[in-house]
Amino acid sequence: MSSPPSPSPTRWFKALRRTRIEDVCLKSGATACLEVLKRARVAFRARRTAQDSFRLAQVEALVRMLMDHECDFVDALGRDVHKPRFEMVMSELMTVKNEALHTISNLKKWMEPQRIERNWATAFDECLVVNEPLGVVLIIGNWTSPLQLCLVPLVGAIAAGNCVIISPPETCTHTAVLLHRLIPAYLDNECFHSVVAAAHEISEIIDLKFDHVFFSGDKENGIKVAQAAARTLARVTLVLSGKNPCYVDSQCDINTTARRIAWARFHNAGQSAVAPDYILCHVDAKENLLQALRCALQQFYGTDPRESRSFGRIVNEENFNKAKDQLCRSGKVFIGGQVNEMERYIGE
């Protein structure tokens, strides 16, 4: 699996009722996870997920869920991560839909045995590689893209014939509640589950023993997840945030470069694992690049980004304070830097 910003399912495989937030919290943590894990194991051992018809039906149901409740997801994501609507639809809903539709088109081909070249030791044999599901997969989402980082791995896990337990990020309460309501209504109730877990409960949940753990988040928590998974020899896929520098040469098209950097940096108000962290710039291009960045940002967000519907906000107070402190400690501010604590707004 790879991560810009989440793995493709190709690589993974190669009547609603209202639920209050308090209700979801009562069904959270390791105890609730153990209950659904037992059910998922029984379903997997019964080969409930083995047939391609079952897998296709589940992925198609996931697409229907997104289409039927697009407005609900947009509202929940808006409350949780404060993304502009266009960003939410493109980076969350459309990304998941595209992965699901790609899976529907290719699933039968992925499930076919793959013939391999024979050598002297297997000259009289028929050599095939047969893809088999692993078992029960745990998907731990992340607040930067709470829907995408839960559902894109889910599409891949379904395609590969696994049962799945999703743990949406606890900081994205509205999205977690919505997933908790909708997944049982659209997907198989024995094979696919959602459990809300606090960050400190993740290691305890992983100790319950899964066949694969998918985690997206920061390096520190990634280390804890890997250590917990190692205790049960569970396979792990980690999608971790990191440093993403951009190099700008003196020979490049400065205006195009500035627009691309500005878009990548300010998508979701910079709260993305693949957002550029810093720029390495040829000295001859520095001044032109700064001016081009200023122009690009004004084109994107206007002269007052705070009033722009396309400019996001920091997801929570903790992250806002970190960004504000870093702004105070860093060097010279060339563009923006305005701060509004009530809105968790930091100007570009």
Q: What is the pLDDT of residue 306?
A: 81
The pTM for the full model equals 0.82
Domain boundary among 240, 257, 288: 240
Number of domains present in the structure of the chain: 2
Assess whether 61 and 159 both reside in one domain: yes
| DSSP state for residue 247 in the 8-state scheme | E
Which positions ≥6 away from 125 have C-beta within 8 Å? 118
Taking residues 288-303, what's their average pLDDT?
Answer: 89
Q: Are 182 and 16 in contact (CB under 8 A)?
A: yes
Confidence of residue 348 (pLDDT cuts 50, 70, 90): low
Element (H, E) at 329: helix 317-329
Assess whether 205 and 326 both reside in one domain: no
Taking residues 90-103, what's their average pLDDT?
Answer: 95
Assess whether 214 and 257 both reside in one domain: no
Assess whether 167 and 261 both reside in one domain: no
Burial class (CB in 10 A: 0-12, 13-18, 19+), 124: exposed
Q: How many CB atoms lie within 10 A of CB 9?
A: 26
β-strands 192-194, 128-129 pairing: unpaired
How far is 126 from 260, CA to CA, in rounded Å? 51
Assess whether 150 and 292 both reside in one domain: no
**pLDDT over 70 at 4, yes or no:** no
**pLDDT over 60 at 18, yes or no:** no
Which positions ≥6 away from 77 have C-beta within 8 Å? 83, 88, 92, 146, 147, 172, 174, 175
Q: Is there a domain that residue 65 lies in?
A: yes
Q: What is the pLDDT of residue 257?
A: 93
Q: Is there a domain that residue 122 lies in?
A: no
Cα dihedral 253→6→88→86 (10° resolution): 30
Assess whether 160 and 224 both reside in one domain: yes
Q: What is the pLDDT of residue 318?
A: 76
Q: How many CB atoms lie within 10 A of CB 59?
A: 24
Q: Are 302 and 313 in contact (CB under 8 A)?
A: no
Average pLDDT, the chain: 85
Q: How many CB atoms lie within 10 A of CB 234?
A: 23
Assess whether 102 and 233 both reside in one domain: yes
Angle between helices 148-159 and 52-68 (to 10 degrees): 160
Taking residues 248-275, what's their average pLDDT?
Answer: 87
Q: What is the pLDDT of residue 266?
A: 86
**pLDDT over 50 at 341, yes or no:** yes
Q: Are 96 and 182 in contact (CB under 8 A)?
A: no
Q: What is the pLDDT of residue 304?
A: 82
Assess whether 251 and 230 both reside in one domain: no
- 3-state class (DSSP) for residue 312: coil
Assess whether 222 and 270 both reside in one domain: no
How far is 102 from 159, CA to CA, in rounded Å? 11
**pLDDT over 70 at 297, yes or no:** yes
Q: What is the pLDDT of residue 76?
A: 92
Q: What is the pLDDT of residue 154?
A: 97
**pLDDT over 90 at 235, yes or no:** yes
Q: Is there a domain that residue 123 lies in?
A: no
β-strands 192-194, 212-217 pairing: unpaired
How far is 54 from 52, CA to CA, in rounded Å? 5
Q: Is there a domain that residue 24 lies in?
A: yes
Closest CA to 327 of 338, 316, 318: 338
Q: Is there a domain that residue 311 lies in?
A: yes
- 3-state class (DSSP) for residue 17: coil
Domain boundary among 183, 215, 240: 240
CATH of residue 225 = 3.40.605.10
Q: Is there a domain that residue 274 lies in?
A: yes
**pLDDT over 90 at 119, yes or no:** no
Taking residues 94-106, what's their average pLDDT?
Answer: 96
Determine the structural domain holding residue 196 and report its residue range.
9-115+130-240
β-strands 235-240, 246-248 pairing: unpaired
Q: Is there a domain that residue 307 lies in?
A: yes
**pLDDT over 60 at 179, yes or no:** yes
Confidence of residue 9 (pLDDT cuts 50, 70, 90): low
Q: Which of 43-47, 239-243, 253-257 has the lowest mean pLDDT?
A: 239-243
Q: Is there a domain that residue 270 lies in?
A: yes
Assess whether 166 and 196 both reside in one domain: yes
Assess whether 298 and 169 both reside in one domain: no
| DSSP state for residue 187 in the 8-state scheme | S
Q: What is the pLDDT of residue 95?
A: 94
Which of 95-99, 260-264, 269-273 is predicted most confidently?
A: 95-99
Taking residues 23-35, what's their average pLDDT?
Answer: 66
**Phi, psi angles (nearest 5°) of residue 20:** -70, 155
Calculate the alpha carbon distances from 187 to 19, 32, 38, 267 in Å.
18, 18, 17, 31
CATH of residue 311 = 3.40.309.10
Q: What is the pLDDT of residue 15?
A: 35
Q: What is the pLDDT of residue 317?
A: 78
Give me the DSSP letters along 93-118. IIHHHHHHHHHHHHHHHHHS-EE---
Element (H, E) at 293: helix 286-301
Domain boundary among 184, 213, 240: 240
**pLDDT over 90 at 171, yes or no:** no
Assess whether 287 and 164 both reside in one domain: no
**Does 22 or 292 have the greater pLDDT score?**
292
How far is 78 from 309, CA to CA, in rounded Å? 12
